[in-house]
């Protein structure tokens, strides 16, 4: 009887905390983000300059920018960056990125009473956003933008607070009574998609929806919160725990390895070991069998957990971070500031541009036909000073072919050497396999557990150094 009473108390406590987090993270204050017209804005390899009219290839402008920011322009003689002077083009590009935030009232997470990730799931969400960008590059390409992007304008953002006021009481009561919150649906974007589009646009729309559906908040979604938590259990994490950027990198690797959708068989994920990318290990992953007799190579997403300093971010690394976000094959950074995780995907001057997962939205059933898309796209960017950045983060890159990877490794190595004022760079590319350097485990070996013993030791060290996520 005593145990039963304790269980009831824990359930009531869990419901109360869920209600509190839902209210706390549903409340959005409308703030404006200001951009200078005198400085370029970089977003995942694309450069926008709001004083410039028209669109053109701007190799010389990019090299001038690098020369003025501690980089040797000759190291980037093969990089071209598309520059646009249209503010609307930047908005359309930013809004087209997939935004994954806290959700509430989704199916209960196995082994817990939780139906929301408010208050603890932010790093898993930023990891999802990084992986989603990798999938968008893989299936849609960097030039793709959502045709409906500019329909999600600031009027919708301004309505969030009014929408939240309606949700507060219902959310609180539903959490305490274990009843499903009545959905308050926007009338925006209702009706069938009636755009006159060609086959290419229809194909892109199918993949757009498919990518989002892989991140749905249901147990069957390949990269949904439920699956990621299951993989995290094998490293000692449970629902409600805090996750650091390095742990999330390994969870994402495992999720892609275990994905059974045929569309995902042409993609693999490699996680750097002790800030080292072993070139032969990456190529082995790319050349592993695709199945069905296919001889083609796999695309790879490379994740590099790093620390940009000790207690605080070392400002000497800022130019390197800018250089990384200027690369077209960069898929962003899982990072944040102390106690909060953000998805960094661009910058202007000494401010990072990011997408914030700390907004609680209602569960969306992505299994239904024509599910609403607007809550998966952020209407406006946010900016944060580099000085506030927590040093613990994971950097991501996407390479479609072995040749792309070899080119990227050369470019990034030059960038690391040019930007590093320290004796050792943030991370390195090394020829050969990890086993050639006395690592016991091969990254291609099938393992019963999520992590090898070596990985567990490294993650344990990372976990003690990383910031606490709330």
The mean per-residue pLDDT over the stretch 149-162 comes to 56
For residue 300, the surrounding DSSP H or E stretch is: strand 299-307
Chain centroid, CA 231 distance in Å? 17
Does the residue 179 lie in any domain?
no
Q: Which residues of 214-253 are buried (b: 16+ CB within 10 A; e: fewer)?
A: bbbbbbebbbbbbbbbbbbebbebebbebbbbbbbbbbbb
Q: Which residue among the candidates 117, 217, 281, 356 is catalytic per the annotation?
A: 356
Q: pLDDT at position 64, please?
A: 43
Q: 427-450: per-residue pLDDT in tens?
A: 999 999 988 886 444 333 333 345
Taking the CA atoms of 108, 263, 334 and 245 in sequence, report the sign of the dihedral they define.
positive
Taking the CA atoms of 131, 135, 137 and 143 in sequence, report the sign of the dihedral they define.
negative
Backbone angles phi, psi at 47, to 5 degrees: -115, 130
Tokens 């991501």 correspond to what residue? Answer: 396
Rounded Cα–Cα distance for residues 271 and 246 (Å): 9
Specify whether 118 is catalytic.
no
Q: Is the pLDDT of residue 157 over 50?
A: no
Q: Which residue among the candidates 47, 118, 122, 399 is catalytic per the annotation?
A: 122
Q: pLDDT at position 17, please?
A: 54
The mean per-residue pLDDT over the stretch 310-329 comes to 92
Does the residue 173 lie in any domain?
no
Q: Is the pLDDT of residue 83 over 80?
A: no
Please tell me what DSSP assigns to residue 215: T
Q: Is the pLDDT of residue 52 over 80?
A: no
User: CA distances (Å), 132 to each of 277, 372, 393, 467, in order?
Assistant: 22, 18, 17, 24
Residues in a beta bridge with 335: 342
Q: pLDDT at position 364, please?
A: 97
Tokens 């005198």 correspond to what residue? Answer: 38
User: pTM value?
Assistant: 0.79
Q: Is the pLDDT of residue 178 over 50?
A: no
Q: pLDDT at position 269, please?
A: 98
When pLDDT is cut at 50, 70 and 90, the band that residue 58 belongs to is very low
Q: Is the pLDDT of residue 69 over 60?
A: no
Specify whether 49 is catalytic.
no
Does the residue 398 lie in any domain?
yes
Q: pLDDT at position 8, please?
A: 57
Q: What is the extent of the structural domain holding 120?
A: 9-152+213-437
Does the residue 443 lie in any domain?
no
The mean per-residue pLDDT over the stretch 256-263 comes to 96
The mean per-residue pLDDT over the stretch 295-308 comes to 92
Q: What percent of the chain has pLDDT over 70?
A: 67
Does the residue 296 lie in any domain?
yes
Q: Is the pLDDT of residue 181 over 50?
A: no
Q: Which residue among the candidates 138, 358, 377, 433 is catalytic per the annotation?
A: 358
Specify whether 122 is catalytic.
yes
Q: Is the pLDDT of residue 101 over 50?
A: yes
Number of domains composing the chain: 1
Q: pLDDT at position 279, please?
A: 96
* Beta strands 299-307 and 392-399, pairing class: antiparallel
The mean per-residue pLDDT over the stretch 13-30 comes to 51
Q: What percent of the chain has pLDDT over 90?
A: 57
Does the residue 428 lie in any domain?
yes
């Amino acid at each position: 009887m005593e145990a039963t009473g304790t269980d009831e108390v824990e359930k009531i406590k869990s419901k109360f905390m869920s209600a509190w987090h839902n209210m706390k993270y549903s409340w959005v204050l409308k703030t404006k983000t200001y951009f200078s017209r005198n400085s370029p804005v970089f977003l995942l390899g694309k450069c926008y300059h709001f004083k410039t009219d028209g669109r053109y290839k701007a190799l010389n402008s990019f090299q001038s920018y690098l020369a003025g920011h501690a980089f040797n322009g000759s190291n980037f003689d093969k990089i071209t960056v598309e520059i646009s002077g249209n503010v609307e083009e930047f908005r359309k590009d930013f809004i087209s990125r997939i935004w994954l935030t806290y959700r509430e009232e989704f199916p209960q997470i196995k082994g817990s009473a939780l139906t929301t990730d408010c208050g603890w799931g932010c790093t898993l969400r930023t990891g999802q956003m990084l992986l989603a960008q990798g999938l968008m590059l893989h299936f849609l390409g960097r030039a793709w933008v959502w045709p409906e992007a500019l329909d999600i304008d600031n009027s919708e953002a301004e309505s969030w607070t009014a929408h939240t006021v309606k949700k507060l009481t219902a959310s609180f009561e539903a959490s305490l009574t274990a009843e499903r919150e009545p959905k308050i649906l926007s009338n925006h974007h209702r009706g069938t998609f009636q755009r006159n589009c060609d086959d290419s646009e229809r194909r892109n729309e199918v993949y757009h929806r498919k990518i989002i559906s892989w991140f749905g908040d249901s147990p069957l979604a390949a990269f949904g919160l439920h699956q990621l938590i299951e993989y995290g259990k094998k490293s000692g994490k449970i629902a409600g725990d805090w996750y650091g950027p390095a742990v999330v990198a390994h969870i994402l690797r495992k999720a892609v390895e275990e994905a059974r959708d045929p569309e995902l068989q042409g993609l693999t994920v490699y996680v750097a070991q002790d800030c080292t990318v072993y070139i032969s290990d990456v190529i082995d992953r790319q050349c592993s069998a695709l199945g069905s007799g296919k001889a083609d190579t796999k695309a790879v997403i490379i994740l590099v957990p790093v620390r940009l300093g000790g207690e605080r971010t070392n400002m000497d690394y800022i130019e390197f971070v800018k250089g990384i976000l200027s690369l077209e094959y960069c898929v962003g950074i899982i990072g944040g500031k102390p106690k909060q995780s953000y998805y960094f995907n661009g910058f202007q001057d000494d401010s990072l541009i990011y997408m914030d997962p700390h907004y609680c939205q209602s569960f969306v059933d992505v299994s239904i036909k024509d599910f609403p898309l607007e809550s998966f796209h952020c209407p406006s960017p946010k900016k944060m000073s580099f000085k506030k950045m927590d040093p613990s983060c994971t950097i991501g890159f996407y390479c479609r072919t072995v040749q792309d990877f070899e080119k990227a490794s050369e470019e990034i190595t030059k960038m690391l050497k040019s930007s590093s004022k320290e004796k050792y760079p943030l991370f390195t590319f090394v020829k050969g396999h990890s086993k050639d350097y006395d690592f016991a485990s091969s990254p291609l070996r099938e393992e019963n557990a999520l992590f090898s013993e070596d990985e567990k030791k490294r993650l344990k060290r990372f976990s003690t150094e990383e910031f606490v996520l709330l």
